[in-house]
Amino acid sequence: MLYPLTTPSRTLLDLSGLWKFMIDEETTPIDPKKPLPTEDVVSVPASFNDQTASKKIREHNGFVWYETSFDIAKPLASQRLVLRFGSATHEAWVYLNGQEITHHKGGFTPFEVEINDYLVANDNRLTVKLSNILDYTTLPVGNYSETTDASGHKIRHVDENFDFFNYAGLQRPVKIYSTPTSYINDITVVPNVDLENSRADVQVKVATEGEFDDVKVTILDQDGKPVVSGHSADQTLTINDVHLWQPM
């Protein structure tokens, strides 16, 4: 998954800053259809347990909640809008204006979701429920167990198997980016080089979405000059007298 950048056809909105934050005591259910009932804040991106002197928060095992709000400029309403998380350690449920829009497990990998169908005209509320539990299904793994206190309240325990502190939270940037409604979703390039004959067959597959008239693929040399081109979303381009290169 490529990192989004601002380009002539793409706008980038960075949601970094102070987000509402609370740990889930699991005594009273938290309803994502309502604003998060707290005024406490933490910085995003960052580990939540690295921003406090509270032992209760720093050593918390279980669920936490984040929330922020944002507006979308009217000129972007006709664009495809994608919400991208750099990471959410270790499992996340994402809600936009009270509706669950995606779920992701894997604390150190990015994920994204289209959000056009969930937006409102003003003041969109983004809520994230996050689990920092380490068990046999996570990377890294952890020894997870549960006990209950005298009142029947569940207490979660995680013992790491090695020298590791479980820094967790929204530790990488959260961004919204736009694309045209017709766009390239993915590109796969597989070169097959015949050294004896100085020839290369380059298989190119372009995954597209939306409406388009043509897909043109051009291979350039090191001086930026066209070497070969073709018009297809799935094609093999042949380069004769190929000049191999290596990174300097």
How much is the mean pLDDT over the chain?
93
- 116 plus 213 within the same structural domain: no
214 and 113 within one domain: no
pLDDT at site 48: 97
| CA angle (176 as vertex; 170, 182 as ends), nearest 5 | 140
Structural contact between residues 115 and 72, judged by C-beta atoms closer than 8 angstroms: no
CATH code, domain with 197 = 2.60.40.10
130's enclosing H/E stretch is strand 124-131
Count of domains observed in the chain: 2
For residue 161, what is the DSSP state?
S
- Identify whether residues 20 and 140 lie together within a single domain: yes
| Contact of 155 with 146, CB cutoff 8 Å | yes
Question: Residues 12-16: what's their mean pLDDT?
Answer: 97
Residue 5 placed within a domain: no
What range does the domain containing 154 cover?
12-179
CATH number (domain holding residue 128): 2.60.120.260
**Is 21 among the domain residues?**
yes
pLDDT band at 162 (very low <50, low <70, confident <90, very high): confident
Asked if the structure places residue 4 within a domain, the reply is no
State yes or no: pLDDT of 248 exceeds 70: no
Instruction: Tell whether 34 and 142 lie within a shared domain.
Output: yes
Residue 67 maps to a domain: yes
Quick one: 20 and 111 in the same domain?
yes
pLDDT at position 149: 83
Q: Show which of 164, 179, 194 is a domain's final residue.
A: 179
Both 150 and 229 in a single domain?
Answer: no
Global pTM value: 0.87
Q: Which residue has the higher pLDDT, 157 or 13?
A: 13
Contact 203, 166 (CB under 8 A): no
pLDDT at 202 exceeding the cut of 90: yes
**Does residue 131 register a pLDDT over 90?**
yes
Query: 189 and 73 in one domain?
Result: no
* Mean of pLDDT values over 114-119: 97
Q: Are residues 55 and 174 in the same domain?
A: yes
Cα dihedral 4/218/201/222 (nearest 10): -80
pLDDT for 234 beyond 90: yes
Asked if residue 190 and residue 95 are part of one domain, the reply reads: no
Higher-confidence position of 162 and 126: 126
Q: Give the least confident one: 96-105, 137-146, 154-163.
A: 154-163
